[in-house]
A = this chain, B = another copy of it.
C-alpha cells in the first residue's frame, strides 16, 4: 500500500501552496486598485448578491460589527458602498454597492476569471472538467 497518511500529507502541502499563491495574487491585484484586501473582500461579498445587514456582512467576513462600521464608513466616503435603512427593523442598515462599487466589483470579477484561466492552462479540457467536478464535491461538503 502506498500509505494513506503520506497521501494526506502530500495533498495538505499542495493545498497550503495553492492557498498561499492565490493569497499573494489577490493581494497584488487588490493593491493596484488602491483598496486594502479587507475592503475588497467587503466589495466582493456585497457585490455577489442581495443587500446585507451589517451584522450579516460582518459574519461573512469574520469580523465584529464594530470593525465593519468603520470599514463601511470609509467605503461609503469613497463612494463604493451605501447604507440603506432596513424596511422593518430600524436598528439595521442594508449595505449595497453604488454604481461605482458595482463597476469595481465587475472589474475584480474579470480578474478572477482571468486567474482561473491561467490556473487551468496546464490542464486538458477533460482534466479541467474533472477538477471542477471534484472541487464542487469538496466545496459542497465543507
Contacts and interface: CB of A to CB of B under 8 A. Distances in A.
A113 interface: yes
B8 A135 contact: no
A87 interface: no
Given A7-B128, A19-B22, A119-B142, A14 B112 contact: no
Given A8-B113, A12-B113, A113-B8, A21 B119 contact: no
A26 to B, nearest CB: 8
B116 A127 contact: no
Given A7-B132, A11-B128, A127-B134, A16 B112 contact: yes
A135 B127 CA distance: 11
A24 interface: yes
B62 A23 contact: yes
Interface residues of A, number: 45
Contacts of A11: 116, 120, 128, 131-132, 135
Question: Interface majority SS on A: helix, strand, loop or mixed?
Answer: helix
A35 interface: no
Interface string A116-132: 11011111000111111
Given A12-B116, A138-B18, A129 B7 contact: yes
Given A116-B15, A123-B134, A123-B137, A62 B27 contact: yes
